[in-house]
Amino acid sequence: MCGIVGVVSKSPVNQFIYDSLLLLQHRGQDAAGIATTDGQSFYMHKGNGMVRDVFRTRNMRDLPGTVGIGQVRYPTAGSSSAAQAQPFYVNAPYGIVLAHNGNLTNWEQLKDEMFRVDRRHINTTSDSEVLLNVLAHELQESSRDGLSVDSLFQAVGKVHNRLRGSYAIVSIISGFGLLAFRDPHGIRPLCIGRFDGPNGTEWMIASESVALEGMGFAFERDVKPGEAIFISNDGELTSQQCAPASSMHPCIFELVYLARPDSVLDGVPVYDARLRMGDYLAEKIRREIDYKDIDVVMPIPDSSRPAAMQVAKRLGLNYREGFFKNRYVGRTFIMPGQAMRKKSVRQKLNAMRVEFKDKNVLIVDDSIVRGTTSQEIVQMARDAGARKVIFASAAPPVKFPNVYGIDMPTRSELVAHDRSDEEVARIIGADELIYQDVEDMKAAVRDINPALSDFDASCFDGNYITGDVTPEYLNRLEQQRKAPKAPVVEASEGDDGEPRGAQLGL
């Protein structure tokens, strides 16, 4: 999971992209980067850490230009080395910088093809660098008679034919404009915003609508699956469907947890979807347990709050905020490493004893992935004096690896894999455990946007829409994840602490 943004403006975009990335910080806290262009040269700065830590005033001064892209990242493929931070750059053809949200399932095969067939060297273990070089190769082939919008769209069509997996892309072709496109299944989100100012029309493309609205842009529409968007340096927008076969299968985990509640993804307000999931969860609780002895319903802030409110409302129970959140600790789900996630839970949450003491408590969370956080939360409730702890998940059990850009790739890390609900309840220490049903989760979203007939819900139902994820593939992925990581040589630093070569002149 990453957050990406691209802007074509009439004024300098460096501060604008910085502010946009702050609005997308929830999508990745491992690294951040910005690349801009003044029409002749690319300028780039990136590194490990959150946006506010990566960029200083001196860095912002070195990012001139009215066109730019940015990314916030957490690692899915490859390591968390600073060398993996995006955007990535390639100097031919023309010069391209690119930022990617998603994960390619055939990137290793493509990396081999890059060397044997395309004669290109891939310098990192990032699938995004592979994607950039596939785009560069296809653009070189399609533009032998000169670069044009048609040749650009032709190249994107060939990229779709070669790539498998999920990808939402923003990129800049030097001296030409901004190119964005989305995979043929529309797994990862991407949307377009427009601002009509005194100097003309400006455009913004971002992972979530909250970034558009927060920067004063009007939401125009979502990028369609398989569609490419090109915006010239002068602000003229052109679009074309570049995939011969496309279908809408957005990632439903975006609505469960990843996206901000004030975003709208593919016609679905995230907040409304979470409320509706709470409605369905309440009905399952009503069917399966004696809920009348529950004293209070409590959410795990913040993403489960809408579902918990609806559960309490539907069941006629008291709603209380029993956990206080320290907002200066990152999201535990996207922290690299199990030990760090576990350590951060009690730094992140504190249980208020007055709300728990001698009460039967129904705790509602958005999902249960590894179970470590849930186990700590249940214990915190008991330590605060809860008499009975019932745990409810607004999402179904996560039983399968997600290979499309979310950091849950091995079955052994998933607490619900090959376990019954009762076994999971014992592991996390709850007296009872209730999961949302898969079909109810999907129905909750369809109730809001009936045009969405299906989703990528692979981590819940094991259905991998790209058709290339086999048991052998998953076994290989697990072995790679368990293998010891080779030491990484970081880029050398200059006297001012900046990585050398931060500015890329063409």
DSSP labels, 419-448: --HHHHHHHHT-SEEEE--HHHHHHHHHTT
**Is 365 annotated as a binding-site member?**
yes
Of 189, 224, 187, the C-alpha closest to 403 is 187
| Distance (Å, whole) CA 496 – CA 57 | 13
User: Of all residues in the chain, what percent are helix, strand and coil, respectively (each to 5)?
Assistant: 35, 25, 40
Give the DSSP letter of residue 258. Answer: I
The order of strands in the sheet holding 296-299 is 318-319, 296-299, 360-365, 388-393, 432-435
Catalytic residue among 2, 191, 242, 251: 2
| Distance (Å, whole) CA 215 – CA 2 | 19
Helices within 50-102 (DSSP H only): 51-54, 57-61
**Is 383 annotated as a binding-site member?**
no
| Distance (Å, whole) CA 386 – CA 354 | 10
Residue 298 CA, chain-centre distance (Å), reads 26
Give, to the nearest 10 degrees, the angle between helix 372-383 and helix 338-348: 30
| Distance (Å, whole) CA 441 – CA 396 | 8
How many other C-beta atoms lie within 10 A of the C-beta of residue 453?
11
How many other C-beta atoms lie within 10 A of the C-beta of residue 145?
7
Judge whether 336 and 393 are in contact, CB under 8 Å. Answer: no
Judge whether 444 and 273 are in contact, CB under 8 Å. Answer: yes
For the question of residue 2 being annotated catalytic, the response is yes
| Distance (Å, whole) CA 359 – CA 368 | 23
How many other C-beta atoms lie within 10 A of the C-beta of residue 136?
25
- Cis omega before residue 93 (within 30°)? yes
How many other C-beta atoms lie within 10 A of the C-beta of residue 2?
26
What are the beta bridge partners of residue 83? none
Judge whether 74 and 407 are in contact, CB under 8 Å. Answer: yes
Judge whether 403 and 410 are in contact, CB under 8 Å. Answer: no
Q: Which residues are marked as active site?
A: 2
Detail the residues annotated as belonging to a binding site. 303, 365-366
Detail the residues annotated as belonging to a binding site for Mg(2+). 303, 365-366
